Amino acid sequence: MARTRRRLRRPRGTTEVLAATAVVLAALVWLAHAVEAAVQAAARNWPVLAVLAGMAAVAAMAWWARRRDADRVRAERLATMRLSLAGIDALGDQEFEFALRDLLIRDGWSARKVGQQGDQAADVIGQHRTLGRIVLQAKHTKVGAKVGSQVMYQVKGTAGPAHGADIAVVVTNGSFTRDAKAWGDKHAVHWVDRDRLRLWAEHGLALHDLLRLPARPLRRGSGRPAA
């Protein structure tokens, strides 16, 4: 059954008009008192308001400066290397692994391609002074293909024990199954699907920023190059 919409009707007769006018006037008087109270409160607390305004201005300037610096760094990365998804789709498996290595180098990592038969789920290994050691497993697929959970299990089982990695990442130009992403998120295996790969390769967002990787305390030997 359709619900009937109730509409306000106009006041009828002198009594209703006077009552409505009284309500409007009361509301205006209340609003005037509220504005007056707010002005008086601001006048009494102007030093605090001035400090808050100054803090807000400083925060806005700092945000703008960080945004400007980030845009400049991203532009510098793109000037060094930029890969389109269409170009990545046209690569072979080995070429894809070299491309991921070069993207890591562009982002400030030392990196080498290691993918070959018996690579123990590692195609690229990188090293960063403050972020640690990273292992990338490359899955170059047909557009629309999905990477399943089995790959995540393999990478989790070898990244640390076999390669001494702090960070494990599976990268594909396709996508991941829902279970694969959920398992990776739960067990610290990062994933880069087609959308994230576009941000990394085409738009110049660094992988560590894309994945929000935390800085790690330096360990003995952590400064050794990956190559």
pTM higher than 0.75, yes or no?
A: no
Give me the sign of the Cα torsion angle 191, 193, 195, 200.
Answer: positive
Parallel, antiparallel, or unpaired: how do β-strands 124-128 and 132-139 relate?
A: antiparallel
Strands in 85-185 per DSSP E: 110-113, 124-128, 132-139, 146-147, 167-172, 175-176
Parallel, antiparallel, or unpaired: how do β-strands 110-113 and 124-128 relate?
A: antiparallel
- Model confidence pLDDT, tens digit, residues 68-117: 665 676 667 676 789 999 999 999 999 999 999 999 999 999 999 996 76
Select from 93, 132, 137, 104 the least CA-distant residue to 119. 137
